[in-house]
A and B are shown apart, each in its own frame.
Chain A
Amino acid sequence: MTDPNTLSPLDLDTPDKTFLDANELVINMGPQHPATHGVLRVILRLDGEKVLGLECVIGYLHRGVEKIAENRTYTMFNPYVDRMDYVAAVSNGLGYCEAVEKLLNVEAPPRAQYIRVILTELNRMASHQLWLGTHALDIGAITPLFYTFRDREEILKIFEKYCGARLTTHAFRIGGLQYEAYDGFEKDVRNFVSFVKPKIDEYEELLTTNRIWLERTKGVGVISGKDAIALGVTGPVLRASGVKWDIRKALPYANYKNFDFEIPTGANGDTYDRYIVRMVEMRQSLRIIEQAVEGIPEGPIMAKVPKVMKPPVGEIYHSIEAPKGELGYFIVSDGSTQPYRIRVRPPSFVNLQALDVMCRGQLVADVIAVIGTLDIVLGEVDR
């Protein structure tokens, strides 16, 4: 493209050389942009309002989590994982604790497993609620944000009562749980389930058949199941493209195989289908919570784990279905108290790579919708 500074300002006779008549326009979005949900910079190549392609610039929140892990003991690294996907800290902790447990060859006791599932599913719900509120806000619907934040508050209250923290919970320990469920935990969870069930209908009333919502989401950011697999996209985005795959069913961890739930899928792989998939997922999470809270067994909450953890030499990969997709931990132990290497496979990072494919041929305004529908958290993208 011609550098506009080199043109004389009055050079109007040669229109094809001026800036405004250029066929391609490169514009910059972010890193400080409210719709990027953090510090994400996107360089867009446009033809008029149509997106020809884009490039993501990431790393603004890079804290070197994997390097920190190599200099901490297994126990000390546990709170750090909460700071990656900070809206789903409980899921991050579950993945990490289970990976180290696998490496140590121990298993959390059944009571701990049940409480873990309840808290993780509550967190999935909270993550989806935050996603729905902000995603709808980006597209122009302000009301859902108030509804979802009001209801998410109830989940955070349960977390706070359970472990003292609302967001970066550090709820689980390697081998089980630190804290016994507080008095009235089960009652709180049951109350929450009956409180929130009609609220999900309320969200749907606002959006599912709303004409503006349909116009802004139907056929926007389409990705086929085949492309999604090639790009390594996981979670609700993959399922909305028609691939029925959820790690909770495919490679069950914790005690998910004891619970009855469905995996929702979409047919078109567009933003609307991803919205529907996440709405159904919220209801399915409630179903799991209802089953789990009825069946919490008595017993210990902590397995026998040595005070000084020295897992035998070896490597392990363990992954869970986080609210955003496949969250994996690849841990290499050299037999010492500190991990030799921890690699985090972040779902947001891999899903964000699909943004380019999903935005091509769309309008500029749809880029916002697609960033929202991918449900990325920059703390996890950059680690």
Chain B
Amino acid sequence: MIAKLRSAYGSGIEPLTYLGQNYMVVDRSLIPDLLRILRDEEQFDYCVDITAVHYPKREKQFDVIWILYSFPRNERIRVKTLIGESESLPSSVPIWATANWLEREVFDMFGIKFDGHPDLKRILLPDGWKGFPLRKDYGILQQDNEWVQINLGIESGQ
């Protein structure tokens, strides 16, 4: 599969294995075409999860990860791409409907935007909240005090 994908996309795909789990690091420009091909031609019909990791010291600060599973092949694979703080990604909602809430959560926690998402807004935190909690520069005790004071009528949620 990887050989086929590499011949189509060249060096934009780097296949890796760690502890028996396969994943590939791909260029941001290959998203979402590659994801669509994985679903349509390689039968990865189930998008298990979409998530991100923040590396503040890197130039491209975020890893965005799609965990995919194929029912016919009984195989799991992860697709990872690196993006900078100001970059956005094309939404994969047209490919897997489940991406809707998963992308909203990534947006909520990391502030990564997905272009073409039908309703990209916060999901776990309230709408007016400031900041993205799972970024590394967001402290564990930090909170949007202004929001708490206005909406809950208390000095602090701590």
A residues near B, CB below 8 A?
A: 58-59, 62, 64, 66-68, 70-71, 102-103, 105, 227, 229-233, 243, 245, 250-251, 314-317, 319, 326, 328, 330, 332, 340-341, 343, 345, 349-350, 353, 382-383
29 contacts between A and B (CB under 8 A): A58-B124, A59-B122, A59-B123, A62-B124, A67-B133, A68-B140, A70-B140, A71-B140, A230-B96, A232-B46, A243-B71, A314-B18, A315-B78, A316-B18, A316-B19, A316-B21, A317-B48, A317-B76, A317-B78, A319-B48, A330-B51, A341-B54, A345-B49, A349-B101, A350-B101, A350-B102, A353-B98, A353-B101, A382-B124
Interface string of B20-32 (1 = CB under 8 A from A): 0101000000000
Task: Assess the A317–B101 pair: CB atoms within 8 A.
Answer: no
Task: Assess the A326–B48 pair: CB atoms within 8 A.
Answer: yes
Q: Quick check: is B83 within 8 A (CB to CB) of the other chain?
A: no
How many A-B pairs have beta carbons closer than 8 Å: the answer is: 89
Interface string of B94-133 (1 = CB under 8 A from A): 0011101110010001000000000000111110000001
Please judge, given known A-B contacts A62-B125, A316-B19, whether A232 and B47 are in contact too, CB under 8 Å. Answer: yes
Known interface pairs A232-B97, A317-B49, A382-B124; 15 further A-B residue pairs with C-beta atoms within 8 A, sorted by A's residue number: A62-B125, A105-B19, A229-B45, A230-B45, A232-B102, A250-B74, A251-B74, A317-B21, A326-B48, A328-B67, A340-B53, A341-B54, A349-B105, A350-B101, A353-B101
Q: Quick check: is B89 within 8 A (CB to CB) of the other chain?
A: no
Size bracket of the B interface: 35 or more
Instruction: Tell which of A314, A326, A343 touches B51, judged by Cβ atoms closer than 8 Å.
Output: A343
In the complex the two chains form, what is the Cα distance from A71 to B133 in whole Å? 13
Q: Quick check: is B134 within 8 A (CB to CB) of the other chain?
A: yes
Residues on B with C-beta less than 8 A from A250 are: 74
In the complex the two chains form, what is the Cα distance from A250 to B76 in whole Å? 11
In the complex the two chains form, what is the Cα distance from A192 to B48 in whole Å? 36
In the complex the two chains form, what is the Cα distance from A326 to B124 in whole Å? 20
Task: Assess the B67–A64 pair: CB atoms within 8 A.
Answer: no
Instruction: Tell which of A58, A68, A70, A350 touches B98, judged by Cβ atoms closer than 8 Å.
Output: A350
Q: Quick check: is B65 within 8 A (CB to CB) of the other chain?
A: yes
Task: Assess the A328–B123 pair: CB atoms within 8 A.
Answer: no
Task: Assess the B19–A251 pair: CB atoms within 8 A.
Answer: no
Give chain B nearest CB distance to A163 CB in angstroms: 28
Please judge, given known A-B contacts A68-B140, A319-B48, A340-B53, whether A232 and B18 are in contact too, CB under 8 Å. Answer: no
- Smallest CB-CB A-B distances: 5 pairs: A232-B98, A59-B124, A343-B51, A345-B49, A230-B97
Residues on B with C-beta less than 8 A from A316 are: 18-19, 21
Task: Assess the A330–B65 pair: CB atoms within 8 A.
Answer: yes
Residues on A with C-beta less than 8 A from B47 are: 232
Task: Assess the A343–B133 pair: CB atoms within 8 A.
Answer: no
Task: Assess the A231–B97 pair: CB atoms within 8 A.
Answer: yes
In the complex the two chains form, what is the Cα distance from A67 to B98 in whole Å? 23
Task: Assess the A102–B101 pair: CB atoms within 8 A.
Answer: no
Residues on B with C-beta less than 8 A from A350 are: 98, 101-102
Residues on B with C-beta less than 8 A from A340 are: 53
Among A68, A102, A229, A319: residue with most chain B CB under 10 A: A229
In the complex the two chains form, what is the Cα distance from A315 to B53 in whole Å? 11
Contact residues, B51-97 vs A (CB, 8 A): 51, 53-54, 65, 67, 71, 74, 76, 78, 96-97
Task: Assess the A341–B53 pair: CB atoms within 8 A.
Answer: yes
Residues on A with C-beta less than 8 A from B98 are: 230-233, 350, 353
Q: What residue of chain B has the Cβ atom nearest to residue A245's Cβ?
A: B71
Instruction: Tell which of B18, B23, B49, B125 touches A343, judged by Cβ atoms closer than 8 Å.
Output: B49
